[in-house]
C-alpha cells in the first residue's frame, strides 16, 4: 500500500472560474420577514458570496492547510487523503479522528495542535497523540469512489487498514462526530482487536418502536428525533434517495453550494442563529471551497445513499470496547445515558456545556481536554 506526500495546489484557472461564477450569481426571490424559516437567507448569503468573490484569500487558507503534513495512501484501490501529525510526548497514543457532513478535515485544524502537543496548550506531554485525520472517500482531497458500495461500514474497514497496514499502528483509539461518529462506533463494534477505546459524539441509532422498557427520557428523545426529522431532516432524505439530482445544481453553482452547506453550519452550531458569532466568513468559505475545488459535493452526498441502501447490520451484542459518548446540548444526536447504554457495555457519558455539531471547530479546547482525560486510562 503506497503512501505519498500531498500538497494542496488549486490551479489559478479554477480561482478565476470561481470568481466569474460568483459574479454571475442569480439570486432567488424570498418572502419579506421570513428570515431563515424557508432555508438559507440572502441576509447572510449575499455578503458571504461577495466576500468569497472579492476578499477571500484561498491561497492564504491553502498555505495554512499545507502547514500540516498531508499524504495520500492507496487502500484497497481507494486513494485516501489524510493529515498525519506525530505527537510531542514520551509515548504518543495513535488516534484517528473522522469528520462528518457537510464538513471536512479542515474542521480539525484547531484541535490537532492541542492533541499532538498538549504541553504547549495547557496540558501535559504524556497526553500527546499521534493524530491521523483522513478525508472521507469522496470528500475533499480523497478522490471520488468510482463504483457503488462506499458505505460507512466500508470506510470503517479502510480506516483499520490505513492505521494498521499503512501506518503501522497495531492498536489505536478513535474519535468522530456525525458520519465520523458512526464510523468510530463501528470501529469499536467490529474491530476490537485493533481499537483500544473510542470517543464518539453520537450514540448508535436504535429502533425502539417495539421496546416496552423505555424510560421517560428515552421517550422524550424518540419524540425529539421524530420532530427534528420532520422539521430539519429533508436534506438527509434527499441525499439518501436522489443525491445525483441535487448534485447537478450544487456542483455547478458556487452560491448554491455555499447555501446548502452554510445553512447547516448555522442550524447545527451553537450560535443562536448568528453563525458569524461562531465562525468567520473565511472559516466557512474554506470548508465550502474544499468541496467546490474538488467537486466532491455529489460524492459526499452519495455516501448517504450508499449507507442507506447497503446491507443492514444487526448487532448481536453490546459493544465491549470502552466508549465515551460526549454530546452537545444543541446536537441532534444527543440522547439520555440509558439510551447509549443499550449499545455499549463499558460506557462513559458526558454533555458538553457549550458548542454544537462542529465542536472541534467551535470549542477545540473543551473537546481536546475531554479527549485527553478519557483516553488517559488507555495508554
Contact criterion met (CB below 8 Å) for 265 and 106: no
C-alpha to C-alpha distance for 299 and 305, rounded to whole angstroms: 10
Residue-wise pLDDT tens digits, 50-91: 999 999 999 999 999 999 999 999 999 999 999 999 999 999
Residue 117 lies in a domain: yes
Within its chain, how far is the Cα of 33 from the centroid? 33
Residue ranges of the alpha helices (H) in the chain? 12-23, 42-54, 58-66, 112-116, 152-161, 179-190, 216-232, 234-241, 243-252, 254-268, 281-294, 297-309, 337-341, 359-362, 364-375
Residue from 169, 304, 305, 339 carrying the catalytic annotation: 304
Name, in order, each residue with C-beta under 8 angstroms of 101's C-beta and a sequence gap of 6 or more. 139, 178, 179, 300, 301, 303, 304
What is the predicted pLDDT for the residue at 9? 98
Question: Within 13 Å, how many C-alpha atoms sit on residue 181's CB side?
Answer: 24
C-alpha to C-alpha distance for 295 and 257, rounded to whole angstroms: 10
Contact criterion met (CB below 8 Å) for 134 and 298: no
pTM: 0.96
Query: Can 224 be counted among the known catalytic residues?
Result: no
Residue 33 lies in a domain: no
Query: Can 178 be counted among the known catalytic residues?
Result: yes
Grid cell for residue 28? 432567488
Phi then psi dihedrals of residue 272, to 5 deg = 50, 40
Mean pLDDT, rounded, for 229-244: 96
Please report where in the chains the cell 487502500 appears, as a residue: 75
Share of the chain above pLDDT 90, in %: 93
Residue 356 lies in a domain: yes
Residue-wise pLDDT tens digits, 8-24: 999 999 999 999 999 99
Residue from 79, 127, 178, 333 carrying the catalytic annotation: 178
Residue 32 lies in a domain: no
Query: Can 370 be counted among the known catalytic residues?
Result: no
CA quadruple 310, 301, 140, 283: dihedral, nearest 10: -130
Residue 197 lies in a domain: yes
- Closest by CA to 173, choosing from 145, 194, 152, is 194
314 has pLDDT over 80: no
- Closest by CA to 241, choosing from 291, 307, 315, is 307
Residue-wise pLDDT tens digits, 85-118: 999 999 999 999 999 999 999 999 999 999 999 9
Residue 31 lies in a domain: no
Contact criterion met (CB below 8 Å) for 22 and 53: yes
Residue-wise pLDDT tens digits, 283-294: 999 999 999 999
- DSSP secondary structure, 308-372, as one string: HHSPPP---S-B-S-EEEEEETT-TT---HHHHHTTBSSEEEEEESS--TTHHHH-HHHHHHHHH
CB atoms near residue 159 (< 10 Å): 28
Residue from 84, 175, 191, 357 carrying the catalytic annotation: 357
25 has pLDDT over 80: yes
333 has pLDDT over 80: no
Per the structure, the count of domains in the chain is 1
Within its chain, how far is the Cα of 273 from the centroid? 21
Give the sign of the dihedral formed by CA 47, CA 50, CA 55, CA 60: positive
Residue 95 lies in a domain: yes
User: Domain range spanning residue 301?
Assistant: 3-26+38-378
- In angstroms, the Cα distances linking 371 to 19, 153, 169, 350 are 40, 24, 19, 11
What is the predicted pLDDT for the residue at 207? 87
Name, in order, each residue with C-beta under 8 angstroms of 242's C-beta and a sequence gap of 6 or more. none
211 has pLDDT over 90: no
Residue 48 lies in a domain: yes
Residue-wise pLDDT tens digits, 117-174: 999 999 999 999 999 999 999 999 999 999 999 999 999 999 999 999 999 999 999 9
CA quadruple 84, 87, 92, 97: dihedral, nearest 10: -40
What is the b/e burial string over 16-31, where b = at least 16 CB atoms within 10 angstroms of the residue's CB? eebeebbeebeeeebe
State the CATH number of the domain containing residue 273. 3.40.50.1820
Amino acid at each position: 500500500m503506497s503512501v505519498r506526500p500531498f500538497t494542496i495546489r488549486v490551479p489559478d484557472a479554477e480561482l478565476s472560474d470561481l470568481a466569474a461564477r460568483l459574479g454571475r450569481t442569480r439570486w432567488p426571490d424570498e418572502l419579506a420577514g421570513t428570515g431563515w424559516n424557508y432555508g438559507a437567507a440572502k441576509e447572510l448569503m449575499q455578503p458571504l458570496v461577495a466576500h468569497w468573490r472579492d476578499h477571500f484569500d484561498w491561497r492564504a487558507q491553502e498555505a495554512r492547510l499545507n502547514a500540516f503534513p498531508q499524504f495520500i495512501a492507496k487502500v484497497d484501490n481507494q486513494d485516501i487523503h489524510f493529515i498525519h501529525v506525530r505527537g510531542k510526548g514520551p509515548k504518543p497514543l495513535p488516534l484517528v479522528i473522522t469528520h462528518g457532513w457537510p464538513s471536512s478535515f479542515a474542521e480539525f485544524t484547531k484541535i490537532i495542535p492541542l492533541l499532538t502537543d498538549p504541553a504547549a496548550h495547557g496540558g501535559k506531554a504524556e497526553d500527546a497523540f499521534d493524530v491521523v485525520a483522513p478525508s472521507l472517500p469522496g470528500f475533499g482531497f480523497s478522490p471520488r469512489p468510482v463504483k457503488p458500495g462506499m458505505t460507512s461500514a466500508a470506510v470503517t474497514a479502510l480506516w483499520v487498514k490505513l492505521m494498521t497496514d499503512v501506518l503501522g499502528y497495531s492498536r489505536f483509539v478513535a474519535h468522530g462526530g456525525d458520519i465520523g461518529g458512526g464510523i468510530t462506533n463501528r470501529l469499536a463494534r467490529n474491530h476490537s482487536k485493533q481499537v483500544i477505546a473510542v470517543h464518539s459524539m453520537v450514540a448508535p441509532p436504535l429502533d425502539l418502536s417495539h421496546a416496552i422498557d423505555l424510560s421517560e427520557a428515552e421517550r422524550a428523545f424518540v419524540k425529539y428525533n421524530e420532530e427534528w426529522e420532520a422539521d430539519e431532516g429533508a436534506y438527509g432524505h434527499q441525499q439518501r434517495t436522489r443525491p445525483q439530482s441535487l448534485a447537478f445544481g450544487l456542483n455547478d453553482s458556487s452560491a448554491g453550494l455555499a447555501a446548502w452547506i452554510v445553512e447547516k453550519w448555522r442550524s447545527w452550531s451553537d450560535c443562536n442563529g448568528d453563525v458569524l458569532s461562531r465562525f468567520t466568513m473565511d472559516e466557512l468559505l474554506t470548508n465550502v471551497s474544499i468541496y467546490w475545488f474538488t467537486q466532491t459535493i455529489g460524492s459526499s452526498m452519495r455516501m448517504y445513499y450508499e449507507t442507506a441502501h447497503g446491507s443492514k447490520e444487526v448487532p448481536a451484542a453490546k459493544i465491549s470496547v470502552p466508549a465515551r459518548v460526549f454530546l452537545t446540548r444543541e446536537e441532534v444526536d444527543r440522547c439520555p445515558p440509558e439510551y447509549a447504554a443499550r449499545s455499549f457495555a463499558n460506557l462513559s457519558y458526558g454533555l458538553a456545556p457549550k458548542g454544537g455539531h462542529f465542536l472541534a471547530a467551535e470549542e477545540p479546547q473543551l473537546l481536546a481536554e475531554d479527549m485527553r482525560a478519557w483516553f488517559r486510562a488507555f495508554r
